Amino acid sequence: MIDLYSLTLEQLADLLQSWSEPRFRAKQIWAWLYDKRVTSLDAMSNLPKSLRNRLQAETTLGSLTIEAEQTSEDGTVKRLYRLADGQLIESVLMEYDDERRTACISTQAGCAMGCVFCATGQMGFSRHLTSAEIFEQALFFARDLEARGDRLSNVVFMGMGEPFHNYDASLDAVRRLMNDLGIGARHITVSTVGLVPMIRRFAEEGLQVKLAVSLHAATDAERDALLPVNRRYPLSDLIQACRDYVETSGRRMTFEWTLIQGENDTPEQAHALGGLLKGLKCHVNVIPLNPTGGYHGGPSASGRIEAFIAILGEYNVPATVRIRRGIDIAAGCGQLKSDVIKRQKIKVLATESTEDAE
Protein backbone atom coordinates (compact mmCIF):
# COMPACT_ATOMS: atom_id res chain seq x y z
CA MET A 1 0.00 0.00 0.00
CA ILE A 2 1.24 3.47 -0.87
CA ASP A 3 1.15 6.09 1.89
CA LEU A 4 -0.15 9.23 0.16
CA TYR A 5 1.58 11.43 2.73
CA SER A 6 4.94 9.98 1.70
CA LEU A 7 4.61 11.36 -1.84
CA THR A 8 5.60 14.75 -3.19
CA LEU A 9 3.13 16.50 -5.48
CA GLU A 10 5.22 15.45 -8.50
CA GLN A 11 5.35 11.83 -7.33
CA LEU A 12 1.60 11.85 -6.82
CA ALA A 13 1.09 13.20 -10.34
CA ASP A 14 3.38 10.48 -11.73
CA LEU A 15 1.42 7.81 -9.88
CA LEU A 16 -1.88 9.06 -11.27
CA GLN A 17 -0.44 9.26 -14.77
CA SER A 18 0.67 5.62 -14.47
CA TRP A 19 -2.97 4.84 -13.70
CA SER A 20 -4.02 6.71 -16.90
CA GLU A 21 -5.48 9.54 -14.84
CA PRO A 22 -4.92 13.21 -15.78
CA ARG A 23 -2.10 14.84 -13.82
CA PHE A 24 -4.36 17.68 -12.62
CA ARG A 25 -6.02 15.19 -10.30
CA ALA A 26 -2.86 15.34 -8.19
CA LYS A 27 -3.57 18.94 -7.18
CA GLN A 28 -7.13 18.02 -6.28
CA ILE A 29 -5.96 15.20 -4.04
CA TRP A 30 -3.23 17.42 -2.60
CA ALA A 31 -5.84 19.98 -1.56
CA TRP A 32 -7.88 17.27 0.18
CA LEU A 33 -4.79 16.02 2.00
CA TYR A 34 -3.29 19.30 3.21
CA ASP A 35 -5.87 22.08 2.88
CA LYS A 36 -8.97 20.20 3.99
CA ARG A 37 -7.04 17.45 5.83
CA VAL A 38 -9.65 14.79 5.32
CA THR A 39 -9.56 11.57 7.31
CA SER A 40 -11.15 9.44 4.60
CA LEU A 41 -10.55 8.93 0.89
CA ASP A 42 -14.33 8.85 0.44
CA ALA A 43 -14.42 12.53 1.41
CA MET A 44 -12.61 13.48 -1.83
CA SER A 45 -15.94 14.24 -3.46
CA ASN A 46 -14.67 15.89 -6.66
CA LEU A 47 -12.80 12.75 -7.72
CA PRO A 48 -14.44 10.13 -9.98
CA LYS A 49 -15.72 7.15 -8.00
CA SER A 50 -13.47 4.84 -10.03
CA LEU A 51 -10.40 6.79 -8.89
CA ARG A 52 -11.56 6.84 -5.29
CA ASN A 53 -12.04 3.07 -5.44
CA ARG A 54 -8.51 2.57 -6.75
CA LEU A 55 -7.10 4.89 -4.08
CA GLN A 56 -8.96 2.84 -1.47
CA ALA A 57 -7.48 -0.38 -2.85
CA GLU A 58 -3.87 0.74 -3.30
CA THR A 59 -3.15 3.69 -0.96
CA THR A 60 -3.50 4.77 2.65
CA LEU A 61 -3.85 8.09 4.48
CA GLY A 62 -0.80 7.58 6.64
CA SER A 63 1.22 4.62 7.89
CA LEU A 64 0.67 5.16 11.63
CA THR A 65 -2.05 3.42 13.64
CA ILE A 66 -2.91 4.28 17.25
CA GLU A 67 -1.83 1.50 19.62
CA ALA A 68 -2.73 3.38 22.82
CA GLU A 69 -3.86 6.85 23.85
CA GLN A 70 -4.04 8.60 27.22
CA THR A 71 -5.40 11.99 28.20
CA SER A 72 -4.08 13.85 31.25
CA GLU A 73 -6.05 15.92 33.72
CA ASP A 74 -4.29 18.98 32.24
CA GLY A 75 -5.52 18.10 28.73
CA THR A 76 -2.24 16.65 27.47
CA VAL A 77 -2.80 13.81 24.99
CA LYS A 78 -0.21 11.08 24.58
CA ARG A 79 -0.33 8.59 21.74
CA LEU A 80 1.55 5.40 21.09
CA TYR A 81 1.66 4.70 17.37
CA ARG A 82 2.40 1.38 15.71
CA LEU A 83 4.33 1.69 12.46
CA ALA A 84 3.91 -0.55 9.42
CA ASP A 85 6.77 -2.83 10.55
CA GLY A 86 5.46 -3.12 14.11
CA GLN A 87 7.76 -0.54 15.73
CA LEU A 88 6.18 1.68 18.40
CA ILE A 89 6.71 5.44 18.75
CA GLU A 90 5.19 8.18 20.88
CA SER A 91 3.76 11.64 20.25
CA VAL A 92 2.30 14.18 22.67
CA LEU A 93 -0.09 17.10 22.21
CA MET A 94 0.16 19.81 24.86
CA GLU A 95 -2.47 22.53 25.18
CA TYR A 96 -1.66 25.74 27.04
CA ASP A 97 -3.79 28.54 28.48
CA ASP A 98 -2.25 31.05 26.04
CA GLU A 99 -3.82 29.03 23.18
CA ARG A 100 -0.58 27.36 22.11
CA ARG A 101 -1.14 23.85 20.82
CA THR A 102 2.21 22.08 20.72
CA ALA A 103 2.96 18.67 19.21
CA CYS A 104 6.01 16.85 20.55
CA ILE A 105 7.06 14.31 17.91
CA SER A 106 9.56 11.47 17.56
CA THR A 107 12.29 11.04 14.96
CA GLN A 108 13.43 7.49 15.76
CA ALA A 109 12.07 4.26 17.17
CA GLY A 110 14.17 4.14 20.32
CA CYS A 111 17.39 6.10 20.66
CA ALA A 112 21.12 5.33 20.41
CA MET A 113 22.28 8.17 22.67
CA GLY A 114 21.83 6.26 25.95
CA CYS A 115 21.01 9.21 28.25
CA VAL A 116 20.68 7.46 31.61
CA PHE A 117 17.56 9.24 32.94
CA CYS A 118 15.54 8.95 29.71
CA ALA A 119 13.09 6.07 29.21
CA THR A 120 13.78 6.06 25.46
CA GLY A 121 17.53 6.00 26.01
CA GLN A 122 17.08 3.05 28.35
CA MET A 123 15.32 0.98 25.66
CA GLY A 124 18.01 1.34 22.97
CA PHE A 125 17.82 2.08 19.25
CA SER A 126 15.61 0.25 16.72
CA ARG A 127 15.58 2.36 13.56
CA HIS A 128 15.30 5.81 12.00
CA LEU A 129 11.86 7.10 11.06
CA THR A 130 11.15 8.24 7.52
CA SER A 131 10.36 11.90 6.99
CA ALA A 132 6.73 10.92 6.35
CA GLU A 133 6.52 9.02 9.67
CA ILE A 134 7.89 12.07 11.47
CA PHE A 135 5.62 14.52 9.66
CA GLU A 136 2.45 12.45 10.05
CA GLN A 137 2.61 12.64 13.85
CA ALA A 138 2.12 16.41 13.67
CA LEU A 139 -0.34 16.19 10.80
CA PHE A 140 -2.65 13.85 12.72
CA PHE A 141 -2.77 16.21 15.70
CA ALA A 142 -3.37 19.17 13.34
CA ARG A 143 -6.21 17.26 11.71
CA ASP A 144 -7.83 16.46 15.05
CA LEU A 145 -7.53 20.03 16.30
CA GLU A 146 -9.02 21.44 13.12
CA ALA A 147 -12.02 19.15 13.46
CA ARG A 148 -12.91 20.96 16.69
CA GLY A 149 -12.18 24.46 15.39
CA ASP A 150 -8.65 24.72 16.78
CA ARG A 151 -5.21 24.69 15.18
CA LEU A 152 -1.75 23.28 15.78
CA SER A 153 0.56 26.22 16.52
CA ASN A 154 3.91 24.70 17.50
CA VAL A 155 5.97 21.56 16.90
CA VAL A 156 8.95 20.39 18.94
CA PHE A 157 11.28 17.58 17.91
CA MET A 158 11.70 16.37 21.48
CA GLY A 159 10.05 12.96 21.39
CA MET A 160 11.75 9.61 21.01
CA GLY A 161 15.13 9.67 19.31
CA GLU A 162 17.88 12.15 18.42
CA PRO A 163 16.78 14.33 15.46
CA PHE A 164 20.34 15.07 14.35
CA HIS A 165 21.17 11.34 14.29
CA ASN A 166 18.43 11.14 11.65
CA TYR A 167 19.35 14.50 10.17
CA ASP A 168 18.09 14.35 6.58
CA ALA A 169 14.68 12.89 7.43
CA SER A 170 14.24 15.32 10.32
CA LEU A 171 15.07 18.35 8.19
CA ASP A 172 12.80 17.13 5.41
CA ALA A 173 10.00 16.82 7.98
CA VAL A 174 10.74 20.37 9.21
CA ARG A 175 10.33 21.72 5.68
CA ARG A 176 7.11 19.79 5.23
CA LEU A 177 5.72 21.23 8.46
CA MET A 178 6.38 24.70 7.08
CA ASN A 179 5.23 24.07 3.50
CA ASP A 180 2.39 21.57 3.90
CA LEU A 181 1.03 22.40 7.37
CA GLY A 182 1.80 26.12 7.42
CA ILE A 183 3.70 26.00 10.73
CA GLY A 184 6.01 29.02 10.94
CA ALA A 185 9.72 28.26 11.25
CA ARG A 186 9.95 30.16 14.53
CA HIS A 187 7.25 27.88 15.95
CA ILE A 188 9.35 24.76 15.32
CA THR A 189 12.09 23.61 17.71
CA VAL A 190 14.66 20.90 17.03
CA SER A 191 16.39 19.43 20.07
CA THR A 192 19.74 17.64 20.16
CA VAL A 193 21.92 16.10 22.87
CA GLY A 194 24.89 17.80 21.24
CA LEU A 195 26.02 16.23 17.96
CA VAL A 196 28.57 18.94 17.16
CA PRO A 197 28.99 18.34 13.39
CA MET A 198 25.21 18.43 12.91
CA ILE A 199 24.87 21.64 14.92
CA ARG A 200 27.39 23.23 12.57
CA ARG A 201 25.54 21.87 9.55
CA PHE A 202 22.22 23.10 10.91
CA ALA A 203 23.66 26.60 11.28
CA GLU A 204 24.25 26.68 7.53
CA GLU A 205 20.68 25.69 6.62
CA GLY A 206 19.45 29.27 6.79
CA LEU A 207 16.28 28.28 8.63
CA GLN A 208 14.62 30.33 11.35
CA VAL A 209 13.83 27.12 13.22
CA LYS A 210 14.76 27.14 16.90
CA LEU A 211 17.60 25.01 18.24
CA ALA A 212 17.60 23.45 21.71
CA VAL A 213 20.53 21.55 23.22
CA SER A 214 19.98 19.07 26.05
CA LEU A 215 22.84 20.01 28.37
CA HIS A 216 21.98 18.72 31.88
CA ALA A 217 25.53 19.12 33.27
CA ALA A 218 28.17 21.86 33.17
CA THR A 219 31.32 19.79 33.68
CA ASP A 220 32.60 16.93 31.54
CA ALA A 221 32.76 14.55 34.48
CA GLU A 222 29.08 15.11 35.34
CA ARG A 223 27.93 15.13 31.71
CA ASP A 224 29.88 11.97 30.81
CA ALA A 225 27.90 10.16 33.52
CA LEU A 226 24.51 11.40 32.32
CA LEU A 227 24.97 11.67 28.54
CA PRO A 228 27.46 9.24 26.98
CA VAL A 229 27.63 11.41 23.83
CA ASN A 230 29.73 13.89 25.84
CA ARG A 231 32.69 11.51 25.68
CA ARG A 232 32.75 12.06 21.92
CA TYR A 233 31.79 15.74 21.89
CA PRO A 234 32.98 17.28 25.18
CA LEU A 235 31.59 20.53 26.52
CA SER A 236 34.38 22.71 25.11
CA ASP A 237 33.57 21.54 21.56
CA LEU A 238 29.81 21.68 22.12
CA ILE A 239 29.68 25.18 23.57
CA GLN A 240 31.99 26.51 20.85
CA ALA A 241 29.69 25.01 18.21
CA CYS A 242 26.73 26.69 19.97
CA ARG A 243 28.50 30.06 20.02
CA ASP A 244 29.30 29.66 16.32
CA TYR A 245 25.67 28.70 15.65
CA VAL A 246 24.38 31.86 17.33
CA GLU A 247 26.87 34.00 15.42
CA THR A 248 26.03 32.38 12.07
CA SER A 249 22.26 32.25 12.48
CA GLY A 250 21.70 35.34 14.60
CA ARG A 251 19.23 33.23 16.58
CA ARG A 252 19.00 32.86 20.34
CA MET A 253 19.23 29.23 21.35
CA THR A 254 17.86 27.22 24.24
CA PHE A 255 19.56 24.86 26.64
CA GLU A 256 17.48 22.14 28.28
CA TRP A 257 18.44 21.33 31.87
CA THR A 258 16.66 18.47 33.62
CA LEU A 259 17.06 19.12 37.34
CA ILE A 260 17.86 15.99 39.35
CA GLN A 261 17.70 16.30 43.14
CA GLY A 262 21.15 16.36 44.66
CA GLU A 263 22.96 15.70 41.38
CA ASN A 264 22.88 18.61 38.94
CA ASP A 265 20.82 21.09 40.97
CA THR A 266 23.68 22.11 43.28
CA PRO A 267 25.07 25.64 43.61
CA GLU A 268 28.36 24.33 42.21
CA GLN A 269 26.67 23.13 39.01
CA ALA A 270 24.71 26.39 38.74
CA HIS A 271 27.89 28.47 38.98
CA ALA A 272 29.64 26.18 36.46
CA LEU A 273 26.71 26.54 34.07
CA GLY A 274 26.61 30.31 34.48
CA GLY A 275 30.31 30.54 33.67
CA LEU A 276 29.91 28.23 30.68
CA LEU A 277 27.07 30.23 29.10
CA LYS A 278 28.01 33.77 30.13
CA GLY A 279 27.80 36.13 27.17
CA LEU A 280 26.05 33.59 24.94
CA LYS A 281 22.70 34.61 23.43
CA CYS A 282 20.64 31.86 25.01
CA HIS A 283 17.93 30.83 27.44
CA VAL A 284 17.89 27.90 29.87
CA ASN A 285 14.77 25.77 30.23
CA VAL A 286 14.89 24.24 33.70
CA ILE A 287 12.85 21.03 33.86
CA PRO A 288 12.28 19.01 37.06
CA LEU A 289 13.07 15.37 36.27
CA ASN A 290 10.19 13.20 35.08
CA PRO A 291 11.07 9.97 36.97
CA THR A 292 11.49 6.68 35.08
CA GLY A 293 11.70 3.12 36.34
CA GLY A 294 15.22 2.68 35.00
CA TYR A 295 16.80 5.61 36.86
CA HIS A 296 17.08 6.20 40.58
CA GLY A 297 17.02 10.03 40.58
CA GLY A 298 14.10 12.26 41.47
CA PRO A 299 12.96 15.80 40.61
CA SER A 300 14.45 18.77 42.44
CA ALA A 301 12.49 20.45 45.22
CA SER A 302 11.09 23.91 44.45
CA GLY A 303 13.53 25.73 46.75
CA ARG A 304 16.52 24.19 44.99
CA ILE A 305 15.06 25.13 41.61
CA GLU A 306 14.64 28.78 42.63
CA ALA A 307 18.19 28.91 44.02
CA PHE A 308 19.58 27.39 40.81
CA ILE A 309 17.84 30.00 38.64
CA ALA A 310 18.95 32.81 40.95
CA ILE A 311 22.61 31.83 40.57
CA LEU A 312 22.28 31.78 36.77
CA GLY A 313 20.89 35.30 37.04
CA GLU A 314 24.20 36.40 38.59
CA TYR A 315 25.81 35.56 35.23
CA ASN A 316 23.03 37.27 33.23
CA VAL A 317 21.89 33.87 31.92
CA PRO A 318 18.06 33.91 31.72
CA ALA A 319 16.26 30.78 32.91
CA THR A 320 12.68 29.72 33.52
CA VAL A 321 11.02 26.55 34.77
CA ARG A 322 9.28 24.63 32.03
CA ILE A 323 5.89 23.44 33.20
CA ARG A 324 5.73 19.67 33.22
CA ARG A 325 2.72 18.37 31.33
CA GLY A 326 0.97 15.02 31.52
CA ILE A 327 2.78 13.76 34.63
CA ASP A 328 -0.27 11.65 35.58
CA ILE A 329 -0.11 9.79 32.24
CA ALA A 330 3.69 9.27 32.10
CA ALA A 331 4.06 11.79 29.27
CA GLY A 332 7.87 11.75 29.36
CA CYS A 333 9.34 10.37 26.15
CA GLY A 334 9.41 6.58 26.05
CA GLN A 335 7.31 6.03 29.16
CA LEU A 336 4.04 4.98 27.54
CA LYS A 337 5.86 2.61 25.19
CA SER A 338 7.69 1.07 28.15
CA ASP A 339 4.41 0.64 30.03
CA VAL A 340 2.64 -0.97 27.06
CA ILE A 341 5.53 -3.35 26.35
CA LYS A 342 5.65 -4.30 30.03
CA ARG A 343 1.90 -5.06 30.03
CA GLN A 344 2.26 -7.11 26.84
CA LYS A 345 5.07 -9.17 28.38
CA ILE A 346 2.99 -9.78 31.51
CA LYS A 347 0.07 -10.88 29.34
CA VAL A 348 2.30 -13.27 27.37
CA LEU A 349 3.75 -14.73 30.59
CA ALA A 350 0.28 -15.16 32.05
CA THR A 351 -0.88 -16.95 28.90
CA GLU A 352 2.15 -19.23 28.93
CA SER A 353 1.58 -20.03 32.62
CA THR A 354 -2.05 -20.90 31.90
CA GLU A 355 -1.03 -23.16 29.02
CA ASP A 356 1.61 -24.87 31.17
CA ALA A 357 -0.99 -25.49 33.90
CA GLU A 358 -3.31 -27.09 31.39
Determine contact, residues 244/203, Cβ cutoff 8 Å: yes
State the number of CA atoms in the 13 A half-sphere of 215 facing the CB. 32
> Distance between terminal CA atoms of the chain?
42
Among 36, 91, 43, smallest CA distance to 65 is for 91
95 is catalytic: no
Amino acid letter for position 72: S
Query: Which residues sit opposite 282 in a β-bridge?
Result: 253
Determine contact, residues 287/324, Cβ cutoff 8 Å: yes
Which of 136, 256, 333, 355 is an active site residue?
333
Among 294, 327, 341, 348, smallest CA distance to 126 is for 341
Please tell me the distance from the alpha carbon of residue 78 to that of residue 96, in angstroms, as a whole number: 15
Please tell me the distance from the alpha carbon of residue 30 to that of residue 180, in angstroms, as a whole number: 10
10 is catalytic: no
State the number of CA atoms in the 13 A half-sphere of 10 facing the CB. 0
Among 167, 161, 158, smallest CA distance to 196 is for 167
Among 261, 260, 243, smallest CA distance to 252 is for 243
Which of 90, 95, 222, 256 is an active site residue?
90
- Give percent helix, percent strand, percent coil of the chain, each to the nearest 5: 45, 20, 35
Please tell me the distance from the alpha carbon of residue 189 to that of residue 209, in angstroms, as a whole number: 6
Torsion 199-201-206-207 (CA) sign: negative
Among 2, 57, 55, smallest CA distance to 25 is for 55
State the catalytic residues: 90, 333
